[in-house]
């Protein structure tokens, strides 16, 4: 028995293709900006942009907020494996729910960001971060990148989608 592996979903009227396209845009924007940072900045270099924002080259061998960054290297493969499982799950969700616009938008943003950071882990052994927000040069938010921004936007949209869904059922 052959399985239908098309990019359209059966019975829901939606297609995964626009969402995969959005994920690809996030991935390309992420990798393009990282290539620029790697080409023009040395590790630790920083450029003052505004009183609250810098461009800085940072390497994160851990996960969010440098979780497990000080581990001996095994975390690279753990986080890569987790991301691969997450990517497969997101693809399955997109296939089944591509007609749900906000939900699929959120998943596509997360998918593009997750793949962007996995590419870094596989190529470099760390994730390239370069966006830095700070207050009065005393408080610094951990550096992040376009992939992280995509994941964050996607997570916020997932929360919004759920709140709207709950509100509609009342």
Select which of 30, 120, 129, 161 is catalytic: 129
Distance, CA of 13 to chain centre: 27
Sign of the Cα torsion 4, 8, 14, 19 reads positive
Question: DSSP string spanning the chain?
Answer: ------SBPTTT--BSHHHHHHHHHHHHHHHHHHHHHHHH--TT-EEEEETTEEEEEEEESSSGGGTTTTS-SHHHHHHHHHHHHHHHHHHHHHHHHTT-HHHHHHHHHHHHHHHHHHHHHHHHSSEEEEEEEEETTTEEPPPB-HHHHHHHHHHHHHHHHHHHHHHHH-
Instruction: Write the burial class of residue 143 (CB in 10 Å: 0-12 exposed, 13-18 middle, 19+ buried).
Output: buried
Residue 148 designated active-site: yes
Select which of 30, 120, 148, 161 is catalytic: 148
Residue 129 designated active-site: yes
Q: Known catalytic residues?
A: 129, 148
């Amino acid at each position: 028995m052959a399985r239908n592996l098309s990019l359209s979903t059966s019975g829901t009227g939606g297609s995964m293709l626009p969402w995969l396209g959005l994920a690809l845009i996030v991935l390309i924007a992420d990798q393009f900006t990282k290539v620029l940072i790697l080409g023009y900045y040395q590790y630790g270099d920083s450029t003052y942009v505004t009183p609250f924002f810098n461009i800085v080259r940072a390497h994160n061998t851990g996960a969010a907020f440098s979780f497990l960054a000080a581990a001996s290297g095994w975390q690279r493969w753990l986080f890569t494996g987790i991301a691969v499982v997450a990517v497969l799950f997101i693809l399955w969700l997109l296939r089944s729910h591509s007609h749900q616009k906000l939900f699929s938008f959120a998943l596509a943003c997360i998918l593009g960001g997750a793949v962007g950071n996995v590419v870094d882990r596989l190529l470099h052994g760390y994730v390239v971060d370069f966006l830095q927000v700070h207050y009065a040069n005393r408080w610094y938010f951990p550096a992040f990148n376009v992939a992280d921004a995509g994941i964050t936007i996607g997570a916020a949209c997932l929360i919004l989608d759920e709140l709207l869904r709950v509100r509609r059922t009342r």
